[in-house]
Structure 1
């Protein structure tokens, strides 16, 4: 891959060329035809994640739509590794997933990988990852999923996942796992086994699975596509998003390990505003006078990119902002202040829903229709009496 950027499941660096990434990863572009078919089948206007090509690439999404059109249906699978608090970059793909669930009326499985983060993060205890699991689940529930069509499960609790992983583990040899995940002689055996557990939810139903996720996660599903049909299941499909940049530049992605680049979902709105004002990179000129004369550069501006990805739902207003910046009519301070207002409003609403989510955890994990159906499959018959 070109030296100017790097994309792996663990690291994203540089200015990502998404067209090159499609070629490198061997995926397909999300075409106008597929998006038009999505709008037609759902009888809905597409959300900004699709209209503005934040989701830009796919594997077998065309087959997912064909399955839906024919009546076979499909299901959704996504997840979260609970190693710390969630930020805006983490949650945006969940909003796209919510739209897909709502418009297609399908089941969603959300895997909370508290075991994985314990195995892969040297400094985290198992109690740490379990605590972060609960914290992250509140953020996910706050997005607004259907509690009877959504099953949120922790690997450490839903041990049926181990039984499902065993036949998968028999299909993956060490050289395959090492080639995809970069394992070494120092890698713990739990880490080496883990890809089988992560693939297991793609087999929860005898339908095609669709995974909405950032493209850096794609290597996890390439393995599944190698052996799924030999187990009598479909190769999993995926739609890939771009990365939400951190505050300080368009390179890489927002990172929880660099707090100054991220807005966390639990940040105090006032503090979040100060962080944006202090750190957010703009495409402005050195002085207001120069900007009025020469105009700004929204293509190089994190503030504009955040409006484009999530914080300006109106396409016409987004283009007005773009041209006002280019003409010098709109100065960076004003644009930042407007973004701060949007982010603060989002955080206040999300945190209100997050508090309400505390009463809903049980339903999403144990007692909702889909959750109960999955737990019933995992309970031995004698214990059901």
Structure 2
């Protein structure tokens, strides 16, 4: 098993990933979430970091954000739709959505022209709007977002070459553009917490497990770039300054019991309230006061031909822009968990856990859990044969594509309803 931001190989053991990457099991939080989305209910979202912050914000009706991005190196497909669905769900639960079109990465790492990045990127913009993103959102192209680029420069000062090499395996031949990408992505993730966009707030980043190195690095950078740090003590918090002890005197205005020491301040009272007030002070004196970003991790969707669904293999995925009849053919040719013959299928039953078509049902096509379980049991018992199952899946895909493509056309006329940061010089590079 190999799982990195640029490469996934072998059979992925998600339990092992949780252990190796130091994630937390998502199922442990599931009972705390009101009306969880299907990817949560079905274990497709399997891990998290600090998602309790988001659960708490949703329960208390407090401000939070959801942020993720898409590299426009290929057309949006069902693999991207999974992340879009997660963004839209959080957005509809009250979170402000921040959607990045990673044109800088596509241009610098994949070599696409700026014009091509914009053209493909707009398909992602229309797709997520068509899937239900509401106006409580910011959509932007990296190259056009001065806040992100300036923040990336600030964050780059907090990480060195040795650390990047250890995390990403960069070598002496690695282009500087690719080396700079982690700083840009960290800036994307922390962008929702800038004071110009409401200041520090819990922010969740839904991603595949291969993107966890970016999350871990960003969580570290969020702490390093902020002035104050927090340690729990009995009855309160211990506050330290990463930028020099002279900043500790700013905490004198805190309306809590406190004790000043040479290198820290102990503050006593409700820990959440103390942290909120300290972050407000940091913002007032020009700091970032970032809250470590939360994250959720979803399983990889299997390509229709086996392996991971990949933009570089058109036969492995269904694009949201595919002609419905072409998508139907792809489904009918998909790898299944069926037996070699219909007779064996009836006798031994199928294996839905090994079936790319069943994954389409599970991840995308069927909302009701009861219907999904009926298909699963019919497959395992041998009552449902692959041909009939594929035809039903193909019909659902055709219906979905016709609907989403119509809504994407409508989205073109609704762009003015959204805060979108467009590149200003498309086509002139």
Structure 1 distance, partners of 2:72, 2:213, is 20
Q: CA deviation at 1:260?
A: 1.0
Q: 1:175-254 to 2 correspondence within 5 Å? A: 175-201=162-188, 202-205=190-193, 206-230=200-224, 231=226, 232-249=289-306, 251=307, 253-254=308-309
Structure 2 distance, partners of 1:95, 1:64, is 17
Which of 108, 115, 120 is the matching residue for 1:127?
115
- Report what 1:301 is aligned to: 355
Post-superposition Cα deviations, 1:243-277, rounded to whole Å, max 9, x if no partner, equal 1111022x4x2111111111111000011101111
Q: CA deviation at 1:70?
A: 5.2
Structure 1 range deviating more: 282-291 or 84-93: 282-291
Structure 2 distance, partners of 1:285, 1:190, is 48
1:110 aligns with 2:115: no
Say if 2:47 and 2:296, in contact at 8 Å, map to a contact too: yes
Q: CA deviation at 1:62?
A: 1.4
Q: CA deviation at 1:69?
A: 4.2
Q: 1:277-296 to 2 correspondence within 5 Å? A: 277-278=332-333, 280-296=334-350
- Report what 1:137 is aligned to: 125
Structure 2 distance, partners of 1:265, 1:7, is 26
Structure 2 distance, partners of 1:290, 1:191, is 50
Q: CA deviation at 1:358?
A: 1.0
Structure 1 range deviating more: 126-135 or 76-85: 126-135
Structure 1 range deviating more: 48-57 or 129-138: 129-138
1:256 aligns with 2:311: yes
Q: CA deviation at 1:237?
A: 0.7
Q: CA deviation at 1:66?
A: 3.0
Structure 1 distance, partners of 2:214, 2:325, is 38
Post-superposition Cα deviations, 1:272-313, rounded to whole Å, max 9, x if no partner, equal 1011112x1112222212222222222221111221222122
Say if 1:72 and 1:207, in contact at 8 Å, map to a contact too: no
Structure 1 distance, partners of 2:379, 2:61, is 47
Instruction: Name whichever structure is richer in helix by fraction.
Output: 1
Say if 2:207 and 2:297, in contact at 8 Å, map to a contact too: yes
Structure 2 distance, partners of 1:267, 1:69, is 39
Q: 1:1-385 to 2 correspondence within 5 Å? A: 5-32=1-28, 34-39=29-34, 45-69=35-59, 72-103=62-93, 105-122=94-111, 124-147=112-135, 149-201=136-188, 202-205=190-193, 206-230=200-224, 231=226, 232-249=289-306, 251=307, 253-278=308-333, 280-366=334-420
Say if 2:148 and 2:191, in contact at 8 Å, map to a contact too: no
Say if 1:203 and 1:233, in contact at 8 Å, map to a contact too: no
1:51 and 1:181, CA in 2 relative to 1: closer, same or farther beyond 3 A? same
Structure 1 range deviating more: 347-356 or 295-304: 295-304
Structure 2 distance, partners of 1:315, 1:365, is 35
Say if 2:147 and 2:191, in contact at 8 Å, map to a contact too: no
1:182 and 1:365, CA in 2 relative to 1: closer, same or farther beyond 3 A? farther
Post-superposition Cα deviations, 1:308-349, rounded to whole Å, max 9, x if no partner, equal 222122212212111211221111100000000111111111
Say if 2:66 and 2:97, in contact at 8 Å, map to a contact too: yes
Say if 2:27 and 2:43, in contact at 8 Å, map to a contact too: no
- Report what 2:425 is aligned to: none
Q: Which runs of 5+ in 2 are unaligned?
A: 194-199, 227-288, 423-429
Q: CA deviation at 1:219?
A: 0.8
1:328 and 1:357, CA in 2 relative to 1: closer, same or farther beyond 3 A? same
1:36 and 1:190, CA in 2 relative to 1: closer, same or farther beyond 3 A? same
Instruction: Name whichever structure is richer in strand by fraction.
Output: 2
Q: CA deviation at 1:72?
A: 4.8
Say if 2:70 and 2:102, in contact at 8 Å, map to a contact too: yes
Structure 1 distance, partners of 2:317, 2:96, is 31
Q: CA deviation at 1:86?
A: 0.9
TM-score by length of 1: 0.87
TM-score by length of 2: 0.78
CA RMSD of aligned residues (A): 1.8
